[in-house]
A and B are shown apart, each in its own frame.
Chain A
């Protein structure tokens, strides 16, 4: 596996050349600082560019063309990485060795056409496509409660900081959707090509010269790369007393979520010690929470801790009976207190270390994981995989106990039904 980074005036191209996959993956990211009022329009763009283009003016004709090209997967999303908003487009297609000669170029053209040849007439996006996408997004936004686990986490984060980027809703907001027009959407599209920071990743058995040449000729953005600073969100002040929220919804299983804020962590702690903490507390089926809440007390089917590293947040989430919430909370507090006091067995640390290292060892098995490893290295000026392994090998119990002292419960959120 060979890594080549090519820097252009407007963007970087990262090529990971390897012959272990039968596919070629290309991933294009448009980055800027996240703004709440831009989430919906960025989402809209991510959908409409995949809805139709100048050559294929309906979703159906696009889908037929894709199938005839041996079904390249094309995906788009608008996500948040700390304080950055990332509008991302990716494609994965079979290397032409397995299909027909010329398919690589055709597949790349198909993908780039979606990005640079939109269905626009007189500076307006095509109204028919626009309306279909608008209905689709409206439904997505409104259906936020369909997934109760996800909704419970969104509500937890909103209660931890209503105006903080970490609580912004990923699908966007109805009031912003109403303000989007075929005209201002096209303006925004042009603005992205002018001002977003662009990072391109390619994974597969490709000729680097050829692919760089091809992309540099066909990638029509005229942004100027600039330093965006760090995406990491720091919390100003921590709450003195735990914020307890209780909300009623028409649901059968209560969702019980706990949000913690992390403050004054060093880069080393955030990157290398925090994963240990979360893993030992509730990251696996041998964690403290799994053992104590599920196995010993039969209070839950799942209880998991999760780190949002760029947000300096740790979340614990579970599905329980409403009446058990105090019991679960006291078990969680007890496990967290134990970690602070250093009641962590060597064996727990070694299991966590093994899990973390294994996960790093297997990154190269998957194109998308390879890309996200190089992407996060690029974003936060991080270490490469080998250096990360070495540093993870050296994390000690003292490191974990020191970190545990910096983790504070901010909000405890319970969502439950009328009588359960």
Chain B
């Protein structure tokens, strides 16, 4: 097992890759009572065209299947489901699906070693019947309907759909009610067999536990199970154009003020000779300094009454593009969009701004170590985005400088944008 001291915060990261390919990241914190564990497969809603294990043709499965599978992992043949198992020790269990991954998690101060084994066991068995697949459809339909009433959710889905042409990041994570009803037991099995192999998964544990004992228990658990050798998973590669699919869309909903999403699709191919992680930190700082609370732009827009709430900045990455969404509310959409267009034509960053935002990044990174859930999430995100977690963020941020920031700025084409507006109902 590898050990690494994490600078400044004086914590330790433990890492081991098991024989079956499963990776384990552990950061113990004996000051707290709770322990938090996540078990993640690098399989999310966007992996819906692939070659299934044991076959040789690319197939396309109904949208929303990764999320459907997440629901079905909570089904066990003996009838004692994970919720019941965990509730006996007062442990919270849950799971969530994103564009890129599906994560199963538990949090609790009791029964940790049994809990971690059970997490491995229930995710590493699949129990599907025609009946339990059918009964889930009504539940998921209600979940999707709940999101359809949330204007922010609708807007994020809408703007992503309009920005991308082919890449499946364009589709909603849960699929549509129609696609959910098309999902079959057979589809679910194929996805499970392809993407739930230990070599496509990783465990992250934070909180109060003993890393040595824990890794032994995990290894023993994994060594007792047999997994087929799997070849490299083949997922469809998309040639995504830099242009957005649709530049404007508006819908009406039960809202009081126009809500908007201003999406910018940026090709990252020209930014070379830099780690992805560092590049992404620069991009975060650049957009924060343009649109965040400390920006001149935000202050100006508030004073003009063009904007009614802080601008939320969301970023999603594909292997070729960054898609940034700016989200807020406005009474003057046309005027505001013209202002944003204009700002993006010619951007720069000052040394003061860069240094200030570096301080913010460093302090957020240190604060993570007070919160075992936020820390765990951050490790999961690092592994999903960069393939690994190296606990070296603070030192990386310290090396950031104005020359590099400006070099990146020069290579950004910010002209491909799309707008999604949710307007109040007109017939009221």
Chain A positions within 8 Å of B, measured between CB atoms, are: 20-23, 58-60, 63-64, 67-68, 70-71, 94, 98-99, 128, 132, 135-136, 139, 142-149, 249-253, 284-286, 294, 298-302, 319-321, 350-351, 354-355, 357-359, 361-362, 364-366
Contact = CB atoms under 8 A, between A and B. Distances in A.
Given A284-B87, A351-B87, A301 B367 contact: no
Contacts of B9: 22, 98
Given A148-B254, A365-B33, 18 more contacts: A59-B293, A63-B292, A68-B359, A94-B367, A99-B363, A149-B146, A252-B148, A253-B146, A253-B148, A286-B84, A298-B138, A299-B142, A301-B139, A321-B142, A350-B88, A351-B90, A357-B90, A366-B371
| B146, B329, B369: residue with the most chain A Cβ atoms closer than 10 Å | B146
B305 A135 contact: yes
B255 interface: yes
A286 B93 CA distance: 11
B146 A358 contact: no
B79 to A, nearest CB: 11
Given A64-B294, A139-B256, A142-B257, A358 B359 contact: no
Contacts of B145: 252-253, 319
A300 B140 CA distance: 9
Given A135-B305, A358-B91, A71 B360 contact: yes
A132 B302 contact: yes
A359 B31 CA distance: 17
B391 to A, nearest CB: 16
B393 interface: no
Interface string B1-23: 00000001100000000000000
Contacts of A99: 363
24 contacts: A58-B299, A60-B299, A71-B360, A98-B8, A128-B303, A132-B302, A132-B303, A136-B309, A139-B256, A143-B329, A146-B256, A148-B149, A148-B150, A250-B425, A251-B149, A251-B254, A253-B146, A253-B149, A284-B83, A294-B139, A298-B138, A302-B146, A321-B142, A357-B90
Interface string B132-155: 000111111011011011110000
Given A139-B329, A294-B139, A298-B135, A358 B109 contact: yes
Contacts of B33: 361-362, 364-365
Contact of A145 (B108, B137, B146, B256): B256
A63 B90 contact: no
Rank and list the top 6 A-B pairs by shortest CB-CB distance, nearest first: A358-B90, A298-B138, A354-B90, A20-B31, A253-B145, A301-B143
B83 A286 contact: yes
A283 B356 CA distance: 44
Contacts of B32: 20, 362, 364-365
Contacts of A359: 90
A139 B256 CA distance: 8
Nearest to A355: B90
Contacts of A143: 255-257, 329
A252 B143 CA distance: 11
A240 B251 CA distance: 45
Contacts of A70: 359-360, 362-363
Interface string B75-94: 00000000110011111010
Given A145-B256, A358-B91, A60 B359 contact: no
A284 B90 CA distance: 11
Contacts of B356: 64, 67-68
Nearest to B358: A67
B87 A300 contact: no
